[in-house]
Amino acid sequence: MTMNCSVRQLADVTVLDLTGRFSLAEAVAFGPGSGLVLGDTVRDLTKNGRKKIILNLAGVTYVDSSGVGQLVGALPSAHKHRAELRLLRPSKQLLDLLKLSKLDSIFDIKEEEATAVASFARDAAATG
């Protein structure tokens, strides 16, 4: 099963709904016929002015170390363009991988979409 990505907007927040297996051993389809990896997708969104991005992982059925690597690689793509990134609903397996590698401390992880969306406004109020 390939990793698929659909993009939707919630006001000024961009949500990437990821589904399937998150592994470089699988075909990755970030858009029809695309061979892009997650970092490229995030970079393209930020270049187009999308500064608030949620990676919805609820539909991800499997993640290996290369999938975690793609998540980590998406962070500098976002930060380089002053964008913020949130993880939404990671599976227990992914959360365990993030905790084991101590990467859970570098990601803002949310369990509810509304909470993830609202967190961008809270961050803006705290820094503004």
Residue 39, domain CATH: 3.30.750.24
Using a pLDDT cut of 70, give the percent of the chain over it. Answer: 83
Output the pLDDT for position 26.
55
113, amino acid identity? E
Burial-class residue 119 by CB neighbours within 10 Å (0-12, 13-18, 19+): middle
Say what the pTM is: 0.86
The residue ranking higher by pLDDT, 46 or 32, is: 46
Which tens digits make up the pLDDT trace of 47-100?
999 999 999 999 998 888 888 888 888 998 899 999 999 999 999 999 999 999
How many domains does the structure of the chain reveal? 1
Which structural domain, as residue segments, surrounds residue 87? 3-127
Helix axes 38-47, 65-80, angle to 10 degrees: 20
56 has which bridge partners? Answer: 17, 88
Q: What is the DSSP letter of 64?
A: -
DSSP 83-112: -EEEEES--HHHHHHHHHTTGGGTSEEESS
Percent of the chain residues topping a pLDDT of 90: 54
**Greater pLDDT, 50 or 3:** 50
Q: Is 127's pLDDT higher than 70?
A: no
